[in-house]
Amino acid sequence: MRQTTDIITVEHLSHAFGNKTVLQDINLSIGKGEFVTILGPSGCGKTTLMRLIAGFLKASEGKISIAGHDMTTTPPHLRPVNTVFQKYALFPHLNVFQNIAFGLNLKKLPKEEIQKKVKQVLKIVIMTDYEERDVDSLSGGQQQRVAIARAIVNKPEVLLLDEPLAALDHKMRKDMQMEIKAMHKKLNITFVYITHDQEEALTLSDRIVVMSEGVIQQIGTPTEIYNEPKNSFVADFIGESNILNGVMIHDELVEFAGHRFDCVDKGFAENELVDVVVRPEDIYIFEMSEAAQLSGQVTSSIFKGVHYEMTVITPEGFEFLIQDYHCFEPGHTVGLRVKPFDIQVMKKERLCNSFVGTIVDKSHVRFLKTNFKCNSAHKFPIGSKVRVAVEFQNVILHDSEEEGVLTGVVSFILYKGDHFHLTVRTKDKRNLYVQTNDIWDDGDTIGISISPESIHLEPV
């Protein structure tokens, strides 16, 4: 699908608002005529990236080239890029025709040509005969079409679409997805589509760029992203998944949920700790028999329209999400089986929390802008820098903010079959990773403490 000429190249692009970094070293190239989706949860930096490409923001660092020209500092009105805004941004004091003709008028094209072009583009977005309508009188879907028409009538090299369907209802969104896809085929314009909706991304794109916390997590075709997620974030964000801690015994053999499984992954160190992803539809569920690799008891079963979604708990205490056309009632004992190539083994991003800290006195070390009591602090001279390591399960979370030595907000929750892996963002925007059996909600503000014996120090 990739074509040889790149229409957009982004190199080492970083952006910060004040001292808050929102994009970090982004490298990306988009081919001419490609449909690329930038996908990520809100606050991941995708909109900032779009605004940098459109020119509404000036990059703090890095380079953006469009159509072969360095356009890092080019103002938006001189870029061959047009944008479809999330809330349409149609000019309320102009009618449909005037909105669409806005760009053409600025180019001072002759009247007849503008007429012709607007008519043409209205036909493409299936809005013929709406020229004289007031934009406020249009429905959401119609406004969306006008917004697209207003952008594509200028024949831009690149069309940026910033969550264009977010404001539409479910049914309308489905229809518009198809239309946008068809439009892309017809127009031969590069589409860069911003969304937080993974399903939309999988349906529409030639390639998907998955972003989180200002960093590109993975770039790939929809199938690549779905079947071979690079890390647990991607696996969790795209589709439903079972993500568990595992150990790579040796090539093509991985242990998780207390059992060993054949797999197809290679190149890990022996006994390396890994994350394992198994998609719910890739687990076979059947009456307990010899063929079973795992056994378990069904704890819930919900009909989802086409398939049933069941949770099964194994005797070792691991929970699995399973989708199947057959229903097994809660309480039923079942057998489970996974084929080797359906097991995706991923390198762990980190094995413990690590920080650079300073020894404050004989019993305290300072990191995350907080003084922590630490049993091994006396082994280092006061004022010296040390590397601090804290294991995920040794971070203690408290309901009340006062109980902890610092506070944070739960920003990401990953269920790993028998425990939760939380990302907690502290006040000064640092991440702390926590393993816990307690249930927390996204956005909870919590107190954080770490017991003195579980802070490990090493010289830098």
Least gap, CB of 73 to another protein (angstroms): 11
Contact (Cβ atoms closer than 8 angstroms) between residue 345 and residue 262: no
Applying the rule CB under 8 A, the residues between 279 and 338 that interact with another protein are none
Q: Which is nearer to another protein, 87 or 174 (CB)?
A: 87
Sheet holding 35-39, edge to edge: 81-84, 158-162, 190-195, 35-39, 207-212, 215-220
Distance CA 13, CA 24 (A): 7
Written in H, E and C, the secondary structure of 44-97 is: CCHHHHHHHHHCCCCCCEEEEEECCEECCCCCHHHCCEEEEECCECCCCCCEHH
Query: Residues 99-138 vs another protein: string with x where CB under 8 A?
Result: ---xx--xx-------------------------------
Q: Which is nearer to another protein, 63 or 87 (CB)?
A: 87
Least gap, CB of 108 to another protein (angstroms): 11
Least gap, CB of 89 to another protein (angstroms): 4
Distance CA 211, CA 214 (A): 7
Least gap, CB of 98 to another protein (angstroms): 10
DSSP annotation of 446 reads E
Least gap, CB of 204 to another protein (angstroms): 22
**Of residues 2, 12, 91, 111, which one binds another protein by CB under 8 A?**
91
The DSSP bridge partners found for residue 398 are 447
Q: Answer yes or no whether residue 89 interacts with another protein by CB under 8 A.
A: yes
**Of residues 31, 33, 40, 55, which one binds another protein by CB under 8 A?**
55
DSSP annotation of 268 reads P
- Interface with another protein by CB under 8 A: which range of 3-11, 54-62, 344-352, 449-457? 54-62
Q: Which is nearer to another protein, 161 or 276 (CB)?
A: 161
Q: Which is nearer to another protein, 53 or 209 (CB)?
A: 53
Q: If DSSP codes are grouped into helix, strand and coil, which group holds residue 405? A: coil
Least gap, CB of 60 to another protein (angstroms): 16
Please report, to the nearest 10 degrees, the dihedral formed by the alpha carbons of residues 108, 114, 115, 116 taken in order: 150
Q: Which is nearer to another protein, 89 or 352 (CB)?
A: 89
Applying the rule CB under 8 A, the residues between 401 and 460 that interact with another protein are none
Query: Residues 138-177 vs another protein: string with x where CB under 8 A?
Result: ------------xx--x-----------------------
Q: Which is nearer to another protein, 118 or 243 (CB)?
A: 118
Count of Cβ atoms closer than 10 Å to residue 265 Cβ: 20
Least gap, CB of 92 to another protein (angstroms): 7
Task: Say how many residues make up the chain.
Answer: 460
User: In this structure, is the dihedral angle defined by the CA atoms of residues 120, 124, 127 and 132, taken in order, positive or negative?
Assistant: negative
Please report where in the chains the tokens 């309480």 appear, as a residue.
Answer: 331
Q: What is the token pair recorded at 285?
A: 């569920």
Distance CA 438, CA 454 (A): 20
Q: What is the token pair recorded at 52?
A: 């940098």
Least gap, CB of 347 to another protein (angstroms): 40
Least gap, CB of 82 to another protein (angstroms): 6
Least gap, CB of 91 to another protein (angstroms): 6
**Of residues 54, 135, 243, 244, which one binds another protein by CB under 8 A?**
54
Applying the rule CB under 8 A, the residues between 66 and 85 that interact with another protein are 75-77, 81-83, 85
Least gap, CB of 103 to another protein (angstroms): 4
Count of Cβ atoms closer than 10 Å to residue 27 Cβ: 12
Q: What is the token pair recorded at 128?
A: 């013929």
Least gap, CB of 46 to another protein (angstroms): 16
63 CB-near residues (< 8 Å, 6+ apart): 9, 10, 11, 12, 13, 70, 72
Q: Which is nearer to another protein, 20 or 379 (CB)?
A: 20
| Residues contacting another protein: total by CB under 8 A | 25
Return the closest-CA partner of residue 247 out of 264, 228, 269, 229: 269
Contact (Cβ atoms closer than 8 angstroms) between residue 334 and residue 312: yes
- Interface with another protein by CB under 8 A: which range of 87-95, 164-172, 226-234, 302-310? 87-95
Q: Which is nearer to another protein, 83 or 311 (CB)?
A: 83
Return the closest-CA partner of residue 301 out of 285, 278, 277, 318: 285
**Of residues 5, 92, 171, 383, which one binds another protein by CB under 8 A?**
92
Q: What is the token pair recorded at 36?
A: 């690329």
List contacts with another protein (CB under 8 A). Answer: 54-56, 75-77, 81-83, 85-93, 102-103, 106-107, 150-151, 154
